[in-house]
Amino acid sequence: MFAKPQQEHQWLDQLIGQWKFEHNCEMPDGTKSNTSGTMNCRSLGGMWLICESSGESPDGEWSSVMTLGFDPAQNQFVGTFVGSMMANIWPYHGVLDANGKRLPLNSEGPKFDGSGMGKYRDIIEIVDTNTWLLTSELQSDEGDWQQFMVAKHTRV
């Protein structure tokens, strides 16, 4: 019954390691903030990537955990994101792009203005072996994607 890692699981392995990051945020209301911190990403049996982050923002210290894996039955990447600064869990699902450098992860969660649920997308983009980007976007009511955060991760 033990599952075997697929090629997609191995794609996630390039994120294994110690990282430092800078988050640059511009919220839909125009509020801007910058956050820095560290991330440790490790493999769980070759099947799951576990990324634990911590940092400081103007609102205080925070920590988060992201899980990523690949579900062959769904033929897509799956995972979750939770953070000490929020009460909800963000479920992830997505498909690697054709060039193998970008992994868009779709999710749904509370809108920033409190008006209900919204569609979100976090995109992992591999720049090189020592650098990757995480971009967060929110889908507007008109269907356009609006970027509100970009984080550059650099291997320590």
Tens of pLDDT along 69-128? 999 999 999 999 999 999 999 999 999 999 999 999 999 999 988 899 999 999 999 999
**pLDDT of 1 higher than 80:** no
Residue 28 confidence class, pLDDT cut points 50, 70, 90: confident
Mean pLDDT of 34-61: 94
φ/ψ of 65, rounded to 5, equals: -135, 130
**pLDDT of 156 higher than 80:** yes
> Could you tell me the residue ranges of all domains in the chain?
7-155
The share of the chain scoring above pLDDT 90, in percent, equals 89
pLDDT at 42: 98
CATH classification of 7-155 is 3.40.50.920, yes or no?
no
Q: Give the integer Cα–Cα distance in Å for 12 and 41.
A: 10
